[in-house]
Structure 1
Amino acid sequence: MDRLSPSTLHRLPSGVLKPDYDRAAVATGIVHLGLGAFHRGHQAVYTDALLKNDPRWGILGVSLRSRDTRDALQPQAGLYSVTASDGSGQQRRVVGALTGLAVAPDDPAGLLARLADPAVRIVSTTVTEKGYSHDPATGALRADDPDIRHDILNLTHPRSTLGFIVGGLRLRRQQGLPPYAVLACDNLPANGHTLRGLAIAFAELVDRDLARWIADEVHFPSTMVDRIVPATTDVDRDEVRAALGLDDAWPVVTEPFSQWVIEDDFGGDRPAWDASGAQFVRDVAPFELMKLRLLNGAHSTIAYLGYLMGCQTVAAAMAEPELAGLVEDMMREEVTPTLPALGGFDVTAYRAALLQRFRNPALKHLTAQIAMDGSQKLPQRLLGTISDRLARGLPITRLALAVAGWMRYVSGTDEQGQPIALRDPLAVKLRALADDAGPVANRLAPALLSVTPVFGHELPNDPRFARTVEAALDRLFLNGTRATVEQILQNAG
C-alpha cells in the first residue's frame, strides 16, 4: 500500500480533513523538543489549524533520543494522521504543521544553529517530567545529572533539554539576536516558572552574564495541556491504514477532548492559538493545579491500582465498579477541596467529564504506560494534594492508598507472582530498596519514604502520612488490591 505523502493526499476519503494551506509557504517559527505522540496530537494540531491565515509558525520537530519518529515520518514529508475517537465514531485529519524533523544526537551543533534562526520565536517542550533534569520534590536542578555535567563543559554539542535551550539562547545573544520564548508543555507545577528557574540555574554554571541575560530578557510562559494521547500501537496502524487507504507509519489516536490554557507572556509575537481553541490567560496556575490534581492524580491512581488488579488499560480499570467509585470519591472528597476558586468554572462538570473520558473504550491507554516514571510524577500529582490536606487536618485515606499502590508496584512482583518491569529514572535505587525490604509494609514503606527526591523531608516525618501509607500498603500485601479498594471505598470518611 502507498504511503501517506504530499503526492497521495488527494486520495484520502472525503471525510478526512487535509491541510488547507500551501505547505511550501510555511516557515519554521517554532522548534519543538520532544516529538512524541502527545505533541503531535495536541500543540501541533492547534498550530496546523492556523497556518492558512499565518504561515509563519511551522514546527521543526526534534527528537532528543530516539530516531523512530523521524524515520517514520521523513518518507511522509512530516505528514501524519490524527484520529479522535470516543467509541461512537471517529474524526480524522492529516496534520501538515511539521516543516522538518531532526534527531538531536545526530547533529547537536546543527540544531543549535536552527535555534539561532531569527525566524524561530518559540521553543516548546514535551519531554516528560524526567526530561528537565530536576528534583521533582523541590524543582531544583540536578547538577549531578550526567547530561547536565556534560553540557556544562560542552555547550556547543549539548545532550539535555536545558543544554539545547540555553545553548541556543547563548548563540542568539552572541549574534545580537532577540531571544525566543520558551514554552513548557509538560505536567510540571508552574511549568514555565519551573523551567525558567532551571534554565537560569544551568546557565549560572556556564556563564553568569548569560544567566542574568536569560533572567532579564527571556520569557517562559506557563501552560496547562490536556488531551489523552496513548502510545500508538500496531492495531492503531492497521485501523488507520484501512480507513485512509494509505499507510501512515506513525499515526496518532486520541480522544475528541482537547484543552490548552496558555499564560499570555511571550515578550513578542506569538501564534493566534486562541483562534484554534486555546485559551490565553493572565494566570495559568489555577487551571494547572486543577488538571494536575484531578486528571493526572486520578490517572496515576487508576494506573497503579488498576495494574495491580490485572487491568491493562484505563478503560478496563474504570469498568471495575469499586475502583471507579474510589477514584470518583477521591476526586470529589479529597482533591476538589484543595483547589483554588476558578472564577465560575464548573469543577463538578469537569470531574464528570473526566470520568467519562477515562471510560472511553476507544482509547487503549495502558496502565503500564501511565505507571512509568512514578518517582517524577508523584510529587505534583498526589503529594502536593496530601500536603495541603494534612496542613488543614483533613484525612488522606484514598490518596494514601494511591501512594501505597505505587509502593506495591515498585516492589517488583504483581499479585500473580509475575515480575513488574519498573521503568523509572530512579529504578535502580527503588528496586534495591524494595529488594532489601521485601514485601513487608513496615519495612518497604519507610525505605521508599526515605527517597528525598520524591518525598522531600516534611512528609516522611509526618506520622499521619507515614502511618496511613504504611497501613494501606499492609492491606495491599495481605488482602490484595481488589479487596483493599472495596474496603476503603466502603469505609473511607
Structure 2
Amino acid sequence: MNTYQLNNKNLTLFKDQVAIPQYNRAEVKTGIVHVGIGGFHRAHQALYTDDLLHQEGNNDWGICGVALLKFDQKIYNTLKEQDGLYTLVVKELDGTLSKRIIGSMVETLFAPENPSKVIEKMASDEVKIITLTITEGGYNYNEATSEFDADNPQILQDIANPLNPITIFGYLTQALKLRKERGLDGITIQSCDNIQGNGHMTQKMLLSYVKMAEPTLVGWIENNVSFPNSMVDRITPATTQNDVEELTKTSGIDDAWPVVCEPFKQWVIEDNFVAGRPAWENVGAQFAKDVVPYEKMKLSLLNAGHSVLGILGALIGYNTIDEVVHNKNIATFLKNYMDKEVTSTLGTLEGVDLEVYKQSLIERFGNINIKDQIDRICSESSAKIPIFILPTVNTQLKNKANIKHAAFVLAAWAVYSLGKNEKGTDLNIKDALKTTLHQKAIAAQQNSTLFLEIETVFGDLRKNDVFVQAFANAYDNIVKKGVEKCVIDINQSI
C-alpha cells in the first residue's frame, strides 16, 4: 500500500480507506478558539464539531487550536504540517477499529512563538467561544484556601509582562481587554476539563486574576462573558508508536499523531452562551439547565475510578488500566468503593440509572484494546485527587459514613510517591508536586500522617481524627502486607 502524508493536498487520496471531511474546509470560518490541543479535545469537542460541519449551515464554527505551553511544540508542529488534520481511531470493544479524518481544526497557533497573535485571535470579532482543556492543574486553584494561587511565579510574571503571558489567565485577560476597547460583543469561555462546576471555576479563577492585573475590566467581564459548565467523557489514552505504525500499515496514512479512543462519548453542557453557539445537540451533545449533578457523578465515579485503578495497579506492577480491572480483587474493591462510599453522595440524577452506569464503567475500564497507560492516569495526581476523591471523603466524614476505601487509596498514593512499586521497579511519576510528594512520602515512612501535611492537596484533613486514623491504619497495612492482600481483606470485611 502506498503511503502519503496527511494534509489538505493529499486528503482525497484516503477516501477509499477511511472517512474524510465532506465539507469544504477552505470555506469554514473560525468561530471557536480552543486552548489545549491534546488527545482528549481531538477525540471529543473537535469530533462533535466535525460532525456538525457536515451539516449545512454551520460553517461559522471552525476551530483555531492553540498550543499554550512550550511543552506543546511537538503537537503544534505536527498539526501545522498536517494542516490541522488528524485521524481519529475508535477502538471498539470487539477489537475492530473505526477510522476517520477530522477536519474541524482549520487553524493552529503556538502561543510561546507569538503571544500577540493568539491574543488577537481570541479578540477577533468572528470568534464567539473560547474553549479550554488545560488539565485540572491549569486553573491555579489552591485546595487549602479554595482560592486562586496569587503567589504562583507564573502569575506574577504575567502581571508584570501583560503582553507576553504564559498562563491562560494572562492570555484571556488581554484578549477580553481588547474586546472591551474595540466595543465588540461579549464572548463565552467554556471549560471542557474534569472539574466539577468547571464553568464556575473558570469564572472565579479568571476574575481573581483580573482583579490583580486589570481591575477596571472586572465589570465588563461580569456583564459580557458567560462561563457555562460542562461534563465531558471519553477515555482517550496516549497515542503509542504502535498506533501510528498500525494506521500507516492498514490505511496508507502518514499521520504523525493520530488519536485513539474508546467508542463511548458524552457531553452535557449548560446552555449559557452570550454570543451564540453551535447546535452540538444535533450531533449527540446534551444541553441542560444544571450540569453540576452529572459532572459530580462522572468525576466521582469514572475519574475517581481511574485514579483508584491507577494508583493500586501501579504499586502492584501493572502497566495498563485494563490489566488492573481484570484483577477480580481490584475490580471488587472498586465496585465496593463506588457502591459504599460514592453513590450516597450523588443524590438524584434525572435520566440516569446509576447501577447501569457503574457497571458500564467496569466494562469500559476493561476494554483490552484501549491499553490506557497507568503512567498517564496517575500523572498530576496532586491536582486530580482533590477533585475526584476528596469531595467524596469530605461528604462521607460530614455524614459520619464509611471512608475505608478512599483512605486506603490515599494511603496507597503516599506509598506510590516513594517512587517504586512492590517489585522494586522505579515508577514514572509525573506531577507538578513531585518533589514535595517524594519528600513527604519519605517522612511518612516514620509517621504516615506527615503525608497529609500537603495542604494544597489535602486542605485540613490532617485535623480530622477519623480520617487520620483510617489513613494511618491503611498505610501500615499496605507496608506490612502489600496492596492486593489488603484489598482482599477489605473486600471480605464488607
Say yes or no: TM over 0.5.
yes
- Superposed, which structure 2 residues align to 1:4-43 within 5 Å? 4-12=6-14, 14=16, 16-43=18-45
Equivalent position of 1:233 in the other structure: 240
TM-score w.r.t. length of structure 2: 0.96
Between the aligned partners of 1:405 and 1:137, the Cα distance in structure 2 is 21
Between the aligned partners of 1:5 and 1:301, the Cα distance in structure 2 is 40
Equivalent position of 1:318 in the other structure: 325
2:172 to 162, 165, 170: 165
Decide whether the 8 Å contact of 1:139 with 1:194 is kept in 2: no
Equivalent position of 1:200 in the other structure: 207
Change (3 A) 1:238 1:409: same
Decide whether the 8 Å contact of 1:439 with 1:477 is kept in 2: no
Equivalent position of 2:355 in the other structure: 348
Counterpart of 1:58, as a letter, is: G
Decide whether the 8 Å contact of 1:137 with 1:379 is kept in 2: no
* Partner deviation per Cα, 1:90-114 (whole Å, 9 max, x = no partner): 2111100011111110000111111
Change (3 A) 1:92 1:136: farther
Q: Which shows bigger deviation, 165-174 or 299-308?
A: 165-174
Decide whether the 8 Å contact of 1:301 with 1:405 is kept in 2: no
Deviation of the 1:412 alpha carbon? 2.0
- Superposed, which structure 2 residues align to 1:81-120 within 5 Å? 81-88=87-94, 89-120=96-127
Deviation of the 1:140 alpha carbon? 1.4
Does 2:336 align with 1:332? Answer: no
Deviation of the 1:137 alpha carbon? 4.8
Equivalent position of 1:210 in the other structure: 217
Counterpart of 1:10, as a letter, is: T
Counterpart of 2:456, as a letter, is: P
* Partner deviation per Cα, 1:138-172 (whole Å, 9 max, x = no partner): 54111111211111122211110111112211111
Counterpart of 1:37, as a letter, is: G
Deviation of the 1:419 alpha carbon? 2.7
Between the aligned partners of 2:295 and 2:144, the Cα distance in structure 1 is 17
Equivalent position of 2:445 in the other structure: 439
Q: Which shows bigger deviation, 10-19 or 176-185?
A: 10-19
1:455 to 444, 453, 458: 458
Between the aligned partners of 2:487 and 2:387, the Cα distance in structure 1 is 23
Equivalent position of 1:484 in the other structure: 486
Between the aligned partners of 2:112 and 2:318, the Cα distance in structure 1 is 37
Counterpart of 2:111, as a letter, is: A
Does 2:312 align with 1:305? Answer: yes
Equivalent position of 1:470 in the other structure: 472
2:68 to 57, 64, 69: 64
Between the aligned partners of 2:360 and 2:18, the Cα distance in structure 1 is 26
Task: Specify every segment of 5 or more residues in structure 1 that has no aligned partner in the other structure, as ranges.
Answer: none
Between the aligned partners of 2:363 and 2:477, the Cα distance in structure 1 is 29
1:182 to 189, 207, 213: 189
Deviation of the 1:86 alpha carbon? 2.5
1:379 to 386, 406, 417: 386
Q: 3-state SS of the aligned residue for 1:489?
A: helix
Counterpart of 1:289, as a letter, is: K
Deviation of the 1:438 alpha carbon? 5.4
Does 2:59 align with 1:55? Answer: yes
Counterpart of 2:454, as a letter, is: V
Decide whether the 8 Å contact of 1:261 with 1:281 is kept in 2: yes
Q: 3-state SS of the aligned residue for 1:465?
A: helix
Runs of 4+ in structure 1 off by over 3 angstroms are 136-139
* Partner deviation per Cα, 1:458-484 (whole Å, 9 max, x = no partner): x22111111101111111111111111
Deviation of the 1:81 alpha carbon? 0.6
Between the aligned partners of 1:110 and 1:322, the Cα distance in structure 2 is 53
Equivalent position of 1:148 in the other structure: 155
Q: 3-state SS of the aligned residue for 1:105?
A: coil
Deviation of the 1:393 alpha carbon? 1.2
Counterpart of 2:471, as a letter, is: V
* Partner deviation per Cα, 1:354-390 (whole Å, 9 max, x = no partner): 1110000111111111111111111111110011111
Decide whether the 8 Å contact of 1:162 with 1:199 is kept in 2: yes
Q: 3-state SS of the aligned residue for 2:66?
A: strand
Deviation of the 1:424 alpha carbon? 1.2
Counterpart of 1:31, as a letter, is: V
Deviation of the 1:276 alpha carbon? 1.1
Decide whether the 8 Å contact of 1:86 with 1:361 is kept in 2: no
1:251 to 236, 258, 263: 258
Between the aligned partners of 2:394 and 2:143, the Cα distance in structure 1 is 15
Q: Which shows bigger deviation, 128-137 or 220-229?
A: 128-137
Decide whether the 8 Å contact of 1:411 with 1:439 is kept in 2: no
Between the aligned partners of 1:301 and 1:279, the Cα distance in structure 2 is 28
Deviation of the 1:13 alpha carbon? 5.5
Decide whether the 8 Å contact of 2:142 with 2:149 is kept in 1: yes
- CA RMSD across the alignment: 1.3
Between the aligned partners of 1:402 and 1:325, the Cα distance in structure 2 is 14
Between the aligned partners of 1:41 and 1:136, the Cα distance in structure 2 is 30
Equivalent position of 1:267 in the other structure: 274
Change (3 A) 1:138 1:294: farther
Decide whether the 8 Å contact of 2:312 with 2:483 is kept in 1: yes
Between the aligned partners of 1:63 and 1:448, the Cα distance in structure 2 is 35
1:132 to 118, 135, 139: 139
Decide whether the 8 Å contact of 1:397 with 1:468 is kept in 2: yes
Q: 3-state SS of the aligned residue for 1:182?
A: strand
Counterpart of 1:23, as a letter, is: R
Between the aligned partners of 1:432 and 1:278, the Cα distance in structure 2 is 44
Deviation of the 1:433 alpha carbon? 2.1
- Superposed, which structure 2 residues align to 1:384-403 within 5 Å? 384-403=391-410
Decide whether the 8 Å contact of 2:444 with 2:450 is kept in 1: no
Decide whether the 8 Å contact of 1:188 with 1:380 is kept in 2: yes
Identity, in percent, stands at 37
Deviation of the 1:15 alpha carbon? 5.9
Task: Specify every segment of 5 or more residues in structure 2 that has no aligned partner in the other structure, as ranges.
Answer: none
Change (3 A) 1:16 1:346: same
